[in-house]
Structure 1
Amino acid sequence: MTSRKEPWALVHARIDHIPFKRYEQLLNMADVVPRVMEGVASDDVCAGYCMGKMRADDYPRHPEKLVKSAGVLDLVQTDVMGPIQTRTTGGCIFGVTFIDDYSRHVTVFFMKAKSEVLSKFRIYKAAMEKATGTTIKRLRSDNGGEYTDKLFKAYLNLNGIKHEKTVPHTPQQNGLAERMNRSLVEMARCMLYHEGIHKKWRVESANTAAWIINRIPNSVNIKTPYEIVNKANPQLKNL
């Protein structure tokens, strides 16, 4: 743990505006966490946080009577975001997330077309299975064409992955992916607004948000997603 102490406003921005209570939990879960000066007991609401958190009603957290995950990569949830109004610097207008249900570890990719979902899933599968030493058992998604075409079905069948498709018009059945996408959008918006950066840089801000989410505690596990997947404490020295 680092000994330097900085104003809460600065640390708050570096860790993407997470609540102070979550920051306190992080002190015991990660290495080289920036320390704050004395006298902080709760959040001071900043403009970036307010702008980033403007959103619609939440998706219920546990509405679905679906089989939960038993371990890492037992269940991966996925969802597509977009189209995005402002193209990214690379010309992307869609994003896709893959979330390990057990650890809540998230990976986000950006795409020019939804047809790229399969290629992104291949990359995700290879990286996560190498990191964890286990294989993906189930994939949960909506019924979008990018998940139900012949090539995607064939790839899942070839690798023995069971495809769980949600009932049409019930996004709550894929609630984790829906909430994660919203969290990524909100956190990215917070960063862009706080620093006065153009929306075309949303890929970089969303990737940073995912990096941070994987290294902070959540309400489900007593460990960070990074530690569960990699079996090591995350390092935050670059913050």
Structure 2
Amino acid sequence: FHNVSYHQLRQKIGIPLKKIKKCKACALGKITKASFKSKHLRAKGPFEGLHLDLIGPISPTSREGDKYILTVVDSNTRYCSAIPINKKSDVVETLSIIIDYEVKRFGYHPSVLHSDRGGEFINIAMEDYCRKNLIKYRTADHYTPQQNGLAERHNRTIIESLRTILTDSNISRQFWSNVVKVSTLTLNQIPSHRSTKSP
């Protein structure tokens, strides 16, 4: 993601590329915990299975008042949506808007949603939404959010890109919600390691 996304983003927003062998900002942005290998069943078709997660709270709050990022990853295509939201209680409403929009394109609801056991996902509103739309809901085991590996990996990539751009530019950190939208757009243009096509 370092070479493809970050430096493409710099070009797109008009920041000159630096001719350096090692990018200090990228190195700082990639500081993370050791990875946890997990397996999940890949959906047979697009939009059949969605992996959900939440990043945050993020400091500082964005100019729009957002503190979190809701990530939604398609199990089949690896397409990722990253939507800045104000509070955890906005998750179900935001997710329903995303899904309802895609239903118009695909003609069907996803079969399965998968997330960790965060209260923003495990609640009556989410249960009602899934029941109403005949969607199965699966969760990771207690204390093992790494089992939601697909969303976790996308989160890590999004966070790395966000940190890198904010570290290396003069952009105010309050613009992180704008940066994450551009970053995710670029992420979705990169072919999956399992495919030669972009999501």
TM-score normalized with structure 1 length? 0.73
* TM-fit CA distance, 1:196: 2.3
For 1:206, the equivalent position in structure 2 comes to 180
**Which shows bigger deviation, 47-56 or 99-108?**
47-56
**Structure 1: segments with no counterpart, 5+ residues:** 1-8, 18-42, 226-239
CA distance 1:89–1:218, change in 2 (3 Å): same
* TM-fit CA distance, 1:16: 6.2
How many residue pairs get aligned? The number is: 189
Q: Conserved in 1, the CA contact under 8 Å of 2:6 and 2:161? A: no
For 2:15, the equivalent position in structure 1 comes to none
Paired residue type of 1:97: T
TM-score normalized with structure 2 length? 0.86
Q: Is residue 86 from structure 1 mapped to residue 60 from structure 2 by the alignment?
A: yes
SS at match of 2:138: strand
Q: Deviations over 1:212-238 (max 9, x none)?
A: 01111121222100xxxxxxxxxxxxx
For 1:101, the equivalent position in structure 2 comes to 75
For 1:149, the equivalent position in structure 2 comes to 123
SS at match of 1:164: strand
**Structure 2: segments with no counterpart, 5+ residues:** 12-19
For 1:58, the equivalent position in structure 2 comes to 35
Distance 1:12 1:141 in 2: 27
Paired residue type of 2:7: A
Q: Is residue 115 from structure 1 mapped to residue 92 from structure 2 by the alignment?
A: no
For 2:14, the equivalent position in structure 1 comes to none
SS at match of 1:147: coil
Percent of pairs identical after alignment? 26
* Larger-Rg structure: 1
SS at match of 1:146: coil
For 1:215, the equivalent position in structure 2 comes to 189
Paired residue type of 2:174: K
CA distance 1:170–1:147, change in 2 (3 Å): same
Distance 2:100 2:118 in 1: 23
Root mean square deviation, CA, Å: 2.2
Q: Is residue 77 from structure 1 mapped to residue 71 from structure 2 by the alignment?
A: no
- Aligned pairs (5 A) from 1:171-190: 171-190=145-164
Distance 1:48 1:14 in 2: 15
Paired residue type of 1:188: L
CA distance 1:46–1:71, change in 2 (3 Å): same
Distance 2:171 2:9 in 1: 17
SS at match of 2:120: helix
For 1:49, the equivalent position in structure 2 comes to 26
For 2:7, the equivalent position in structure 1 comes to 13
Q: Conserved in 1, the CA contact under 8 Å of 2:9 and 2:182? A: no
Paired residue type of 1:13: H
Distance 1:210 1:16 in 2: 14
